[in-house]
Amino acid sequence: MPTFENILPANADTILSISSFGDMLYQARGLSQTLEVIGAATQLERTINGTLVDLSAAQFRKYSSKINVPSDVNAPPLDNIFPGREVTVQCAIGLSFLTGTPGLPHRPAVSGSTFTEGAYTFYRPELVMLIKSVTTQFDEWKNVVGWSIELEEV
């Protein structure tokens, strides 16, 4: 029987964890997370014959991510968290690959997040990233804090 990706780890309130906020491991609920390939990983050019070829270097195959929490009780400890700060993100979003493919997964898997379904293996990646931007907002009437963080893999 498969272990499904969205089952919470023991003693956790969410499947996303961000470490390196001082001594605190911050977790959130009701969030969304994007994972996309960085711009430097895309270097496609056309030959003189019009054929599209990939000229990108393998070392640029990295991810950027945006974590958005529209309503939270409290934001993570964002005081003195500025762009360039290194954090480790145990992603909420999952990746997959064809089971048995040599050399995969390309990123470390969050402990307990890996499962196989059919011909595919699913896992949540653990990424070392730098903060690119931090945003927080507050709705006084609802007494709700919202926040978002943009990150890029080191």
Q: What is the per-residue pLDDT for 11?
A: 57
Distance from C-alpha of 63 to C-alpha of 37, rounded to nearest angstrom: 5
Q: Whole-angstrom Cα distance, residue 137 to residue 150?
A: 15
For residue range 36-57, what is the model confidence (pLDDT) as tens digits?
999 999 999 999 999 999 999 9
Instruction: Kindly give the pairing relationship between strand 24-27 and strand 17-21.
Output: antiparallel
Q: Describe the chain by its helix, strand, coil percentages, rounded to 5.
A: 5, 45, 50
With a cut of 80, say whether residue 102 has pLDDT above it.
Answer: yes
- Confidence at residue 75, expressed as pLDDT on a 0 to 100 scale: 80
pLDDT of residue 76: 81
The domain ranges of the chain are 17-153
Express each pLDDT in 118-128 by its tens digit: 999 999 999 99
| H/E element, 126 | strand 126-139
Q: Nearest 5°: phi and psi at 39?
A: -60, -35
Q: Which of 13-17, 21-25, 112-116 has the highest mean pLDDT?
A: 112-116
Q: Once rounded to an integer, what is the mean pLDDT over residues 25-34?
A: 79
